[in-house]
Chain A
Amino acid sequence: MSTEAITEEIPGTIIFDGRQAMKGYALNKMCYSFNRAENREAFRRDEEAFMEKFGLNEQQKEAIRRRNVLDLIDTGGNIYYLAKFAGIFGLNVQDVGAQQTGMTVEAFKEMLRKQGE
Protein backbone atom coordinates (compact mmCIF):
# COMPACT_ATOMS: atom_id res chain seq x y z
CA MET A 1 0.00 0.00 0.00
CA SER A 2 1.26 3.43 -0.84
CA THR A 3 1.64 5.75 2.10
CA GLU A 4 2.80 8.69 0.05
CA ALA A 5 0.54 11.68 -0.22
CA ILE A 6 -0.92 12.58 -3.55
CA THR A 7 1.16 15.69 -3.94
CA GLU A 8 -0.57 17.67 -6.66
CA GLU A 9 -2.18 20.63 -4.96
CA ILE A 10 -5.79 21.47 -5.61
CA PRO A 11 -6.68 24.59 -3.61
CA GLY A 12 -9.00 24.03 -0.67
CA THR A 13 -9.02 20.29 -1.26
CA ILE A 14 -7.60 17.39 0.73
CA ILE A 15 -7.49 14.24 -1.37
CA PHE A 16 -8.80 11.34 0.68
CA ASP A 17 -6.08 8.82 -0.14
CA GLY A 18 -4.49 5.90 1.70
CA ARG A 19 -2.63 8.25 4.01
CA GLN A 20 -5.77 10.08 5.10
CA ALA A 21 -7.67 6.78 5.27
CA MET A 22 -5.10 5.37 7.72
CA LYS A 23 -5.03 8.54 9.78
CA GLY A 24 -8.81 8.78 9.99
CA TYR A 25 -9.74 5.12 10.33
CA ALA A 26 -11.09 5.26 13.91
CA LEU A 27 -12.91 8.54 13.33
CA ASN A 28 -14.50 7.29 10.11
CA LYS A 29 -15.40 3.97 11.71
CA MET A 30 -17.24 5.80 14.47
CA CYS A 31 -19.10 7.95 11.94
CA TYR A 32 -19.94 4.89 9.83
CA SER A 33 -21.54 3.36 12.93
CA PHE A 34 -24.03 6.27 12.92
CA ASN A 35 -25.92 4.44 10.18
CA ARG A 36 -27.59 2.67 13.09
CA ALA A 37 -30.04 4.54 15.30
CA GLU A 38 -28.82 2.86 18.50
CA ASN A 39 -25.29 4.17 17.86
CA ARG A 40 -26.54 7.70 17.23
CA GLU A 41 -28.41 7.41 20.51
CA ALA A 42 -25.37 6.05 22.37
CA PHE A 43 -23.26 8.96 21.07
CA ARG A 44 -25.89 11.49 22.20
CA ARG A 45 -25.98 9.88 25.64
CA ASP A 46 -22.22 9.92 26.24
CA GLU A 47 -20.00 11.40 23.54
CA GLU A 48 -16.76 10.88 25.43
CA ALA A 49 -17.38 7.21 26.13
CA PHE A 50 -18.45 6.64 22.53
CA MET A 51 -15.31 8.30 21.12
CA GLU A 52 -13.17 6.31 23.56
CA LYS A 53 -14.79 3.05 22.43
CA PHE A 54 -13.69 3.73 18.84
CA GLY A 55 -10.21 4.86 19.87
CA LEU A 56 -10.20 8.41 18.46
CA ASN A 57 -7.02 10.36 19.12
CA GLU A 58 -7.08 13.64 21.04
CA GLN A 59 -7.15 15.88 17.95
CA GLN A 60 -10.07 13.94 16.53
CA LYS A 61 -11.92 14.05 19.86
CA GLU A 62 -11.41 17.79 20.08
CA ALA A 63 -12.65 18.29 16.51
CA ILE A 64 -15.75 16.23 17.34
CA ARG A 65 -16.35 18.23 20.54
CA ARG A 66 -16.06 21.48 18.60
CA ARG A 67 -18.11 20.14 15.64
CA ASN A 68 -15.36 21.54 13.44
CA VAL A 69 -15.59 20.01 9.97
CA LEU A 70 -12.28 21.35 8.59
CA ASP A 71 -10.44 19.90 11.59
CA LEU A 72 -12.31 16.62 11.21
CA ILE A 73 -11.17 16.42 7.59
CA ASP A 74 -7.64 17.41 8.52
CA THR A 75 -7.50 14.59 11.07
CA GLY A 76 -8.48 12.04 8.43
CA GLY A 77 -12.27 12.28 8.28
CA ASN A 78 -14.00 11.49 5.01
CA ILE A 79 -16.96 13.69 4.15
CA TYR A 80 -19.32 10.79 3.38
CA TYR A 81 -18.93 9.41 6.91
CA LEU A 82 -18.78 12.87 8.48
CA ALA A 83 -22.15 13.60 6.87
CA LYS A 84 -23.61 10.92 9.14
CA PHE A 85 -22.11 12.73 12.14
CA ALA A 86 -23.56 16.05 10.92
CA GLY A 87 -26.91 14.33 10.48
CA ILE A 88 -27.13 13.68 14.22
CA PHE A 89 -27.48 17.45 14.65
CA GLY A 90 -29.83 17.83 11.69
CA LEU A 91 -27.14 19.58 9.64
CA ASN A 92 -27.14 19.17 5.85
CA VAL A 93 -24.40 19.74 3.27
CA GLN A 94 -25.19 23.45 2.99
CA ASP A 95 -24.74 23.86 6.73
CA VAL A 96 -21.47 21.93 6.53
CA GLY A 97 -20.34 23.93 3.48
CA ALA A 98 -21.14 27.23 5.19
CA GLN A 99 -19.10 26.26 8.25
CA GLN A 100 -16.09 25.25 6.16
CA THR A 101 -16.10 28.41 4.07
CA GLY A 102 -16.85 30.74 6.97
CA MET A 103 -20.10 31.97 5.42
CA THR A 104 -23.61 32.17 6.74
CA VAL A 105 -25.81 29.39 5.41
CA GLU A 106 -27.81 31.96 3.43
CA ALA A 107 -24.66 33.39 1.84
CA PHE A 108 -23.44 29.89 1.00
CA LYS A 109 -26.74 29.02 -0.67
CA GLU A 110 -26.61 32.26 -2.64
CA MET A 111 -23.06 31.41 -3.76
CA LEU A 112 -24.32 28.04 -5.02
CA ARG A 113 -27.23 29.68 -6.84
CA LYS A 114 -25.01 32.29 -8.51
CA GLN A 115 -22.87 29.60 -10.09
CA GLY A 116 -25.87 28.66 -12.21
CA GLU A 117 -26.11 32.09 -13.80
Chain B
Amino acid sequence: MARIVGGLTTSHIPAVGNAIAKQLFDDPYWKPFFDGYPKARTWLDAVKPDVAIVIYNDHGLNFFLDKMPTFAVGAAFEYKNDDEGWGIPMLPPFKGDPKLSWHVIDSLVRDEFDICSCQEMTVDHGFTVPMQLLWPDYAASGIRTIPISINTVQHPIPSPARCYKFGRALGRAVESYPEDVKVVIVGTGGLSHQLDGKRAGFINKEFDLMCMDKIVGEPETLAKLSPLELVREAGAQGAEFILWLAMRGALTGKVRKLHSNYHIPISNTGAGMLVLENAA
Protein backbone atom coordinates (compact mmCIF):
# COMPACT_ATOMS: atom_id res chain seq x y z
CA MET B 1 0.00 0.00 0.00
CA ALA B 2 1.03 3.59 -0.52
CA ARG B 3 2.33 5.41 2.50
CA ILE B 4 2.66 9.11 3.30
CA VAL B 5 6.09 9.33 4.89
CA GLY B 6 6.03 12.99 5.70
CA GLY B 7 5.18 16.54 4.87
CA LEU B 8 7.30 19.51 3.97
CA THR B 9 6.43 23.15 3.79
CA THR B 10 8.34 25.90 2.11
CA SER B 11 7.76 29.42 0.87
CA HIS B 12 7.82 29.63 -2.92
CA ILE B 13 8.97 33.21 -3.49
CA PRO B 14 9.83 33.77 -7.19
CA ALA B 15 13.03 35.67 -6.38
CA VAL B 16 14.35 32.36 -5.01
CA GLY B 17 14.23 31.01 -8.57
CA ASN B 18 16.54 33.79 -9.69
CA ALA B 19 18.81 33.34 -6.67
CA ILE B 20 19.15 29.62 -7.47
CA ALA B 21 19.95 30.43 -11.11
CA LYS B 22 22.66 32.84 -9.92
CA GLN B 23 23.86 30.39 -7.23
CA LEU B 24 23.59 32.97 -4.45
CA PHE B 25 23.62 30.29 -1.73
CA ASP B 26 26.37 31.98 0.29
CA ASP B 27 25.35 35.56 -0.42
CA PRO B 28 24.71 37.30 2.95
CA TYR B 29 21.12 38.18 2.01
CA TRP B 30 20.26 34.64 0.90
CA LYS B 31 22.36 32.43 3.17
CA PRO B 32 19.98 32.39 6.19
CA PHE B 33 17.25 31.20 3.83
CA PHE B 34 19.15 28.59 1.82
CA ASP B 35 20.84 27.21 4.96
CA GLY B 36 17.51 25.70 6.00
CA TYR B 37 17.31 23.30 3.06
CA PRO B 38 20.28 20.88 3.31
CA LYS B 39 18.61 19.23 6.33
CA ALA B 40 15.40 18.76 4.38
CA ARG B 41 17.33 17.27 1.46
CA THR B 42 19.28 14.94 3.76
CA TRP B 43 16.00 13.68 5.16
CA LEU B 44 14.59 13.19 1.65
CA ASP B 45 17.76 11.32 0.61
CA ALA B 46 17.26 8.96 3.56
CA VAL B 47 13.50 8.46 3.10
CA LYS B 48 13.61 8.30 -0.71
CA PRO B 49 10.01 9.15 -1.57
CA ASP B 50 8.75 8.05 -5.00
CA VAL B 51 6.15 10.79 -5.39
CA ALA B 52 5.80 14.40 -4.24
CA ILE B 53 2.28 15.80 -4.12
CA VAL B 54 2.84 19.54 -4.27
CA ILE B 55 0.06 21.82 -3.06
CA TYR B 56 0.51 25.30 -4.45
CA ASN B 57 -1.42 28.20 -5.95
CA ASP B 58 -1.22 29.17 -9.58
CA HIS B 59 -0.33 32.87 -9.89
CA GLY B 60 -1.64 33.44 -13.41
CA LEU B 61 0.29 30.99 -15.56
CA ASN B 62 -2.07 28.04 -16.05
CA PHE B 63 -5.30 29.60 -14.82
CA PHE B 64 -6.85 32.99 -15.50
CA LEU B 65 -10.00 34.57 -14.09
CA ASP B 66 -12.05 33.20 -17.00
CA LYS B 67 -12.04 29.79 -15.28
CA MET B 68 -10.81 29.67 -11.72
CA PRO B 69 -11.04 26.26 -10.07
CA THR B 70 -10.97 26.18 -6.28
CA PHE B 71 -9.14 22.83 -6.20
CA ALA B 72 -7.36 21.53 -9.33
CA VAL B 73 -5.46 18.24 -9.47
CA GLY B 74 -2.85 17.45 -12.11
CA ALA B 75 -3.29 14.20 -14.06
CA ALA B 76 -0.55 14.55 -16.66
CA PHE B 77 2.48 12.48 -17.68
CA GLU B 78 4.57 15.61 -17.30
CA TYR B 79 4.19 19.20 -16.19
CA LYS B 80 5.83 22.01 -18.11
CA ASN B 81 7.04 25.28 -16.73
CA ASP B 82 6.58 28.36 -18.92
CA ASP B 83 7.28 32.09 -19.20
CA GLU B 84 5.65 33.97 -16.30
CA GLY B 85 6.38 37.32 -17.87
CA TRP B 86 8.93 38.82 -15.52
CA GLY B 87 12.11 36.94 -16.20
CA ILE B 88 12.41 33.97 -13.86
CA PRO B 89 14.43 31.31 -15.77
CA MET B 90 12.36 28.54 -17.37
CA LEU B 91 12.96 25.00 -16.19
CA PRO B 92 12.82 21.51 -17.70
CA PRO B 93 9.53 19.60 -17.26
CA PHE B 94 8.55 17.65 -14.16
CA LYS B 95 7.59 13.98 -14.33
CA GLY B 96 3.99 13.09 -13.40
CA ASP B 97 2.31 9.96 -12.05
CA PRO B 98 -1.05 9.94 -13.85
CA LYS B 99 -2.06 6.56 -12.43
CA LEU B 100 -1.82 7.81 -8.87
CA SER B 101 -3.37 11.13 -9.96
CA TRP B 102 -6.51 9.39 -11.20
CA HIS B 103 -6.72 7.29 -8.07
CA VAL B 104 -6.53 10.49 -6.02
CA ILE B 105 -9.12 12.22 -8.24
CA ASP B 106 -11.55 9.28 -8.00
CA SER B 107 -11.16 9.13 -4.25
CA LEU B 108 -11.48 12.89 -3.68
CA VAL B 109 -14.68 13.13 -5.70
CA ARG B 110 -16.14 10.08 -3.92
CA ASP B 111 -15.22 11.96 -0.74
CA GLU B 112 -17.28 14.96 -1.96
CA PHE B 113 -14.39 17.16 -3.08
CA ASP B 114 -15.49 18.02 -6.60
CA ILE B 115 -12.12 18.96 -7.98
CA CYS B 116 -11.07 20.03 -11.46
CA SER B 117 -8.85 17.42 -13.16
CA CYS B 118 -6.08 18.67 -15.44
CA GLN B 119 -4.43 16.53 -18.12
CA GLU B 120 -2.46 19.58 -19.15
CA MET B 121 -1.17 21.94 -16.51
CA THR B 122 1.71 24.37 -16.71
CA VAL B 123 3.34 24.89 -13.33
CA ASP B 124 4.61 28.26 -12.14
CA HIS B 125 7.05 29.34 -9.40
CA GLY B 126 4.59 28.21 -6.73
CA PHE B 127 5.41 24.65 -7.75
CA THR B 128 8.86 24.95 -9.34
CA VAL B 129 10.67 26.84 -6.57
CA PRO B 130 9.84 24.24 -3.88
CA MET B 131 10.85 21.45 -6.29
CA GLN B 132 14.18 23.16 -6.97
CA LEU B 133 14.82 23.71 -3.27
CA LEU B 134 13.97 20.14 -2.26
CA TRP B 135 15.13 18.19 -5.35
CA PRO B 136 17.78 20.39 -7.03
CA ASP B 137 18.39 17.66 -9.64
CA TYR B 138 14.73 16.63 -9.87
CA ALA B 139 14.99 15.46 -13.48
CA ALA B 140 17.75 12.97 -12.66
CA SER B 141 16.32 11.97 -9.27
CA GLY B 142 13.30 10.18 -10.77
CA ILE B 143 10.88 11.88 -8.37
CA ARG B 144 7.34 11.87 -9.75
CA THR B 145 4.99 14.73 -8.97
CA ILE B 146 1.32 15.58 -8.69
CA PRO B 147 0.61 19.31 -8.60
CA ILE B 148 -2.52 20.40 -6.75
CA SER B 149 -3.49 24.03 -7.22
CA ILE B 150 -5.76 25.77 -4.71
CA ASN B 151 -7.24 29.17 -5.54
CA THR B 152 -5.77 31.99 -3.47
CA VAL B 153 -6.04 34.57 -6.26
CA GLN B 154 -9.72 35.46 -6.12
CA HIS B 155 -12.03 35.55 -3.10
CA PRO B 156 -13.95 33.61 -2.01
CA ILE B 157 -10.91 31.41 -1.40
CA PRO B 158 -11.53 28.09 0.36
CA SER B 159 -11.45 28.46 4.13
CA PRO B 160 -8.63 27.11 6.28
CA ALA B 161 -11.08 24.50 7.62
CA ARG B 162 -12.04 23.42 4.10
CA CYS B 163 -8.39 23.12 3.06
CA TYR B 164 -7.58 21.10 6.15
CA LYS B 165 -10.46 18.75 5.35
CA PHE B 166 -9.28 18.58 1.74
CA GLY B 167 -5.92 17.45 3.10
CA ARG B 168 -7.62 14.75 5.18
CA ALA B 169 -9.38 13.49 2.05
CA LEU B 170 -6.10 13.62 0.13
CA GLY B 171 -4.47 11.55 2.86
CA ARG B 172 -7.23 8.94 2.66
CA ALA B 173 -6.90 8.90 -1.13
CA VAL B 174 -3.16 8.25 -1.10
CA GLU B 175 -3.31 5.65 1.64
CA SER B 176 -5.93 3.63 -0.23
CA TYR B 177 -3.65 3.30 -3.29
CA PRO B 178 -2.71 -0.37 -3.60
CA GLU B 179 0.83 0.09 -4.90
CA ASP B 180 3.87 0.32 -2.66
CA VAL B 181 4.86 3.92 -3.16
CA LYS B 182 6.26 6.37 -0.67
CA VAL B 183 4.68 9.81 -0.89
CA VAL B 184 5.59 13.17 0.58
CA ILE B 185 3.14 16.04 0.68
CA VAL B 186 4.59 19.50 0.08
CA GLY B 187 2.64 22.55 1.26
CA THR B 188 4.01 25.69 -0.35
CA GLY B 189 3.72 29.46 -0.15
CA GLY B 190 3.50 31.93 2.70
CA LEU B 191 4.27 32.86 5.21
CA SER B 192 3.11 36.43 5.90
CA HIS B 193 3.38 38.90 3.05
CA GLN B 194 1.34 41.51 1.27
CA LEU B 195 2.26 42.79 -2.17
CA ASP B 196 -0.68 45.07 -2.90
CA GLY B 197 -2.23 48.19 -1.47
CA LYS B 198 -1.07 50.75 1.05
CA ARG B 199 -0.26 47.91 3.45
CA ALA B 200 2.30 46.46 0.98
CA GLY B 201 5.34 45.19 2.84
CA PHE B 202 3.35 43.93 5.82
CA ILE B 203 5.01 40.96 7.56
CA ASN B 204 3.84 39.41 10.87
CA LYS B 205 6.64 37.48 12.54
CA GLU B 206 4.70 36.65 15.68
CA PHE B 207 1.80 35.18 13.72
CA ASP B 208 4.12 33.21 11.40
CA LEU B 209 5.99 31.64 14.31
CA MET B 210 2.70 30.78 16.02
CA CYS B 211 1.50 29.07 12.82
CA MET B 212 4.76 27.13 12.41
CA ASP B 213 4.44 25.93 15.99
CA LYS B 214 0.75 25.06 16.06
CA ILE B 215 0.62 23.36 12.67
CA VAL B 216 2.71 20.52 14.10
CA GLY B 217 0.48 19.45 16.98
CA GLU B 218 -2.65 21.63 16.95
CA PRO B 219 -3.59 22.22 13.30
CA GLU B 220 -7.31 22.28 14.18
CA THR B 221 -6.74 25.54 16.07
CA LEU B 222 -5.41 27.17 12.88
CA ALA B 223 -8.18 25.65 10.77
CA LYS B 224 -10.65 27.74 12.79
CA LEU B 225 -9.36 31.00 11.29
CA SER B 226 -11.60 32.61 8.70
CA PRO B 227 -10.13 33.60 5.32
CA LEU B 228 -10.35 37.28 6.27
CA GLU B 229 -8.71 36.72 9.65
CA LEU B 230 -5.90 35.06 7.74
CA VAL B 231 -5.62 38.06 5.39
CA ARG B 232 -5.60 40.44 8.34
CA GLU B 233 -2.92 38.52 10.26
CA ALA B 234 -0.78 37.14 7.44
CA GLY B 235 -1.31 39.73 4.69
CA ALA B 236 -3.29 39.51 1.46
CA GLN B 237 -0.93 36.94 -0.07
CA GLY B 238 -0.07 35.35 3.26
CA ALA B 239 -3.47 33.67 2.91
CA GLU B 240 -1.39 31.05 1.08
CA PHE B 241 -1.08 29.47 4.51
CA ILE B 242 -4.20 27.48 3.56
CA LEU B 243 -1.84 25.44 1.36
CA TRP B 244 0.19 24.46 4.43
CA LEU B 245 -3.00 23.43 6.20
CA ALA B 246 -4.01 21.22 3.27
CA MET B 247 -0.61 19.51 3.54
CA ARG B 248 -1.01 19.05 7.29
CA GLY B 249 -4.46 17.52 6.88
CA ALA B 250 -2.96 14.72 4.78
CA LEU B 251 -0.68 13.62 7.63
CA THR B 252 -2.85 11.32 9.68
CA GLY B 253 -0.16 9.37 11.50
CA LYS B 254 2.12 10.41 14.34
CA VAL B 255 3.48 13.77 13.28
CA ARG B 256 6.81 14.97 14.56
CA LYS B 257 8.76 18.08 13.61
CA LEU B 258 12.25 17.19 12.37
CA HIS B 259 13.52 20.53 11.05
CA SER B 260 12.41 24.10 10.67
CA ASN B 261 13.74 27.39 9.41
CA TYR B 262 12.33 30.94 9.38
CA HIS B 263 13.81 34.11 8.00
CA ILE B 264 12.69 37.71 7.35
CA PRO B 265 12.79 39.09 4.72
CA ILE B 266 13.12 37.13 1.53
CA SER B 267 11.75 39.48 -1.06
CA ASN B 268 8.63 40.86 0.73
CA THR B 269 8.00 37.70 2.74
CA GLY B 270 8.49 35.94 6.04
CA ALA B 271 10.00 32.73 4.64
CA GLY B 272 9.27 29.49 6.47
CA MET B 273 10.26 25.84 6.08
CA LEU B 274 9.23 22.73 7.98
CA VAL B 275 10.03 19.03 7.72
CA LEU B 276 7.41 16.85 9.38
CA GLU B 277 7.68 13.11 9.78
CA ASN B 278 4.45 11.12 9.52
CA ALA B 279 5.09 7.85 11.36
CA ALA B 280 2.59 4.99 11.08
CA distance A65 to B11 in the complex (A): 33
Centre residue among B83, B85, B199, B264 by max chain A CB count within 10 A: B85
Chain B, interface size: which category? 35 or more
| Majority SS at the chain A contact face | helix
Question: A63 in the interface, Cβ–Cβ < 8 Å?
Answer: no
Contacts of A93 in B (CB 8 A): 15, 195, 267-268
CB pair B86–A86 under 8 Å, yes or no, is yes
Given known contacts A83-B195, A87-B87, is B60 in contact with A35 (CB within 8 Å)?
Answer: yes
Quick check: B199 and A13 within 8 Å, CB to CB? yes
Q: Which residues of B contact A (CB under 8 A)?
A: 15, 59-61, 64-66, 82-87, 153-156, 194-203, 205, 228, 231-232, 236-237, 263-265, 267-268, 270
Q: Which of B60, B203, B264 contacts A80 (CB 8 A)?
A: B60
Is A40 within 8 A of B197, CB to CB?
A: no
Shortest beta-carbon distance from A96 to chain B in Å: 7
0/1 interface trace, chain A 72-91, chain B, CB 8 Å (1 if under): 01000011111110111010
Whether A60 is near chain B, meaning CB under 8 Å from some CB there, is no
Please determine whether B86 and A84 come into contact, CB atoms closer than 8 angstroms.
yes
User: Is there contact, CB below 8 Å, between A12 and B197?
Assistant: yes
Contact with B along A15-29 (1 / 0, CB 8 A): 111100100010011
A49 within 8 Å of B by Cβ?
Answer: no
Least Cβ distance of A25 to chain B in Å?
6
Assess A17 versus B156: contact at CB under 8 Å? Given A11-B199, A86-B86.
yes
Contact B85 A84 (CB under 8 A): yes
